[in-house]
Amino acid sequence: MTKLRVLFFVLAASLSLATARGADKLILDNGDSIQGEYISNENGIITFKSPILGVITVPSDKAEVQSPTEVSEEVDGPAIPGAGEQLADAASGEEPAPDAQAEPAPKTEEQIEAEEQAEYFDQLISEWKDSFQSIIPDGWSGKINVGFTYTNAASTTTSLVTGLKAKKDSGPHHYELSAFYQFGDTVNASGAKTINTDKYGGGFNYKYDLSDDWFITSTTSYLHDQVKGIKNQATEQIGVGYRIINEDDMKLSVNGGMAGQYNYVGGVSQKWYYYVTAGNDFEYHFNKYFRVEQNFNIRVDPSETSQYQFYFNIAGIAKLTDWIEASLSYNYNYDNTVSAGSSKGEENIVFALGVPF
C-alpha cells in the first residue's frame, strides 16, 4: 500500500509539473503565484481556475496574469526552422548548420549582364525624360502620341498618326493645346489607291472659372483634310459651361455657345458659316492605371439646319509604366458642309502609344 501511495505521488507530481509548464500563472501583488487556467478579466475582476482551489476571483488591481507564451519568450534557444525551410533542406540533401544564415547563391554571368542592361536602359530613359522635360515650359504637362488609324468612310484609309496634347492650370485659368498629323493610303470604292493622304490640324482651348461649377470657354481650331476635300477650315467657338460632376475620379461637364467658321472646301462656294453649339466632356478613372474619356460637339446653322457638323469620341487609356501609356479610341464625325461628292460621315479606330511629360 505504501509503494502504491509513493507511485501515485510521483505520477501526480509529474502531471502537476507538466501542467504547470503549459498553464497560466496568476501573480498576486504580495508575490504569491497560482498555476491554473485564466478565464476572463471583466469589470475589474479576474476570474481564474486553479486545479486545487477551484474557480477564484481577484480584483484586477491586486493581481496580473502571465500566459505560457510570455514565459517562453524569455527563454533563449535555437530557432526552429519553418516547414518550407525544412523541405528545402531535405531536398538539398545537406544538413544546415544550426543558427547559420544561408549564403546567397552567386550570380551567373547572364544574370549580371541582364541587370547591367536593365540599369543602362533605366538610366537612358531617365536622362531622356530629364532632357525632354527641360524644354517644356513651366507648369505645362501632356503627352506625345504615335499610333495607327483605320478610317471607314466612302473610302477606307490606313494611316499613321502622331499628335501632341498639353495643358496648364493656373488658378481659374485653364489652357489646352493639341496638334496632330495623319498620313497613309486611301482605297476608294472603285479600288483605286491614293498614296500619302494628308490630314492635319490643331487647336487651342481656354477656360476661365466663374465659380466651382460655372466657366466660360473659347476654342480656336484648324483642320486640313485631303479625303473630304477640306483645304482650310478655321473655327472660333465661344460658350459657357457647367460642371455637373467634379470629383477626383470622375468629371462631367456640359457646354453651349456659338461659333464662326471659315470653310474652304473644294466644289463649295460658301465660305463662312455661323453655328449654335452644344457639347460635353466626361472622364472617369477606374484606378490609377486605367481611365475612360468621352466628348462630343455639335454645331448647327440656325438659319439653315441642314448645315451642321457633329463629332463624338470615346477612348480607353491604360498606364503601362511611368513613361508610357496605351490608348484605344473610337470616333465618329459627320460634316454636312462638304461637297456632295465627298464623304460626309467618317469612323475612326485609333490605337496609339503615348509618352507623358
- Average pLDDT value for residue range 91-115: 67
- Which domains are present in the chain? 18-74 (2.30.30.100), 139-356 (2.40.128.130)
Residues, the chain: 357
Task: Please check whether residue 150 is in contact with residue 157, taking contact to mean a CB–CB distance below 8 angstroms.
Answer: yes
Residue 198: which residues within 8 A CB-CB, separation 6 or more? 181, 182, 183, 224, 226
Report which of residues 8 and 134 the model is more confident about.
134
* pLDDT, position 225: 86
Report which of residues 144 and 279 the model is more confident about.
279
Band the pLDDT of 93: cuts 50, 70, 90. low
pTM listed for this prediction: 0.61
* pLDDT, position 54: 75
Pick from 73-82, 96-105, 334-343 the range whose average pLDDT is largest: 334-343
Pick from 292, 301, 306: which is nearest to 260 by CA?
301
Write the pLDDT tens digit of every residue in 21-57: 457 887 888 777 777 888 888 878 888 887 777 788 8
Band the pLDDT of 313: cuts 50, 70, 90. very high
Burial of 175 (0-12, 13-18, 19+ CB in 10 A): middle
Q: Give the C-alpha separation, 39 to 56, whole Å.
A: 10
- Average pLDDT value for residue range 133-153: 81
